[in-house]
Structure 1
Amino acid sequence: MGDAVVIHLIQNVLIFGIIFWLLTWGAEYFYTVKQQLTKKQFYECGFKSISELNIQINFNFFMLAVFLILYDVEFTFLFPVLFNFSMFSTTELFLAFFFIFLILVSLLYDWLNNVLSWSAE
């Protein structure tokens, strides 16, 4: 009985994978990308640009926004842990602390690679 369930599960996964692959291949095959010059122009309140602007965004601000979004989402996942701390089993607590550990390791990695520094080196 157990082997039949596993075989059925494997068949379903394979069928789903083949269907997903065919759909993505078909979408790539039938979808053509058209380059439009207006996509590269800046939008100024609905009017056509007066001059050709080449606005360069500081990379530090971009990285700050990426880290803000990244760590904000990660800390959002931790809110259920804070409110249900006493109801968690040992395994769930271990996984929560492991998640916190991964967040700290990623922050340490960013710190050691000078991603968070604002000076040009």
Structure 2
Amino acid sequence: MGSVAIFTTIISMSIFGIGLYAGSLIYSYFFSKQGRNLLYRDFYECGFRAVPDNRVVLDLHFSIVGLIFLIYEMEIILFVPIFLNIKNITFVLFLILFFSIVILALSYWYEWERYALNWSF
């Protein structure tokens, strides 16, 4: 494929994308229900009208559990390539994997003992 063909493809895809975007804007402008009724212009959130003080008290426990989930998920994602290539594992890689799993198990045990994973409080 020559450089002219690649350039033509890029330009045509860009024009198609811009046209699709412009078409959706025009469609939403003509067929939206926002201008027909003043009720549509009010703020509406989760089935209730917005009040001046919208602060919500969040439980810190949910954030901690979310962070714990992300940490364990990242550990599993890092272990997958090692487990897929288990036949060609070296001794150093085995030690790294072993100590990583030990640290992961100890951190899980620590969180279990500190009741960080308990949902009933």
Please report the TM-score for the alignment, with normalisation by the length of structure 1: 0.55
Q: How many residues align?
A: 74
Cα offsets for 1:79-104 (capped at 9, x unmatched):
11111111011121111111111101
CA distance in 1, matches of 2:70, 2:115: 19
Unaligned runs of 5+ in 2: 1-43
Residue in structure 1 matched with residue 114 of structure 2 by the alignment: 113
Residue in structure 2 matched with residue 81 of structure 1 by the alignment: 82
CA distance in 2, matches of 1:112, 1:84: 34
The alignment-based identity, stated in percent, is 19
Stretches of 4+ aligned residues off by more than 6 angstroms:
none
Listed as ranges, the matches of 1:23-102 within 5 Å are 50-102=51-103
Partner of 1:51: helix, strand, or coil? Answer: coil
Q: RCO (CA 8 Å, sep 6+): is it higher in 1 or 2?
A: 1
What RMSD over aligned residues (CA atoms) do the two structures have, in Å?
1.8
Unaligned runs of 5+ in 1: 1-43
Query: Which has the higher Rg, Structure 1 or Structure 2?
Result: 2
Partner of 1:55: helix, strand, or coil? Answer: coil
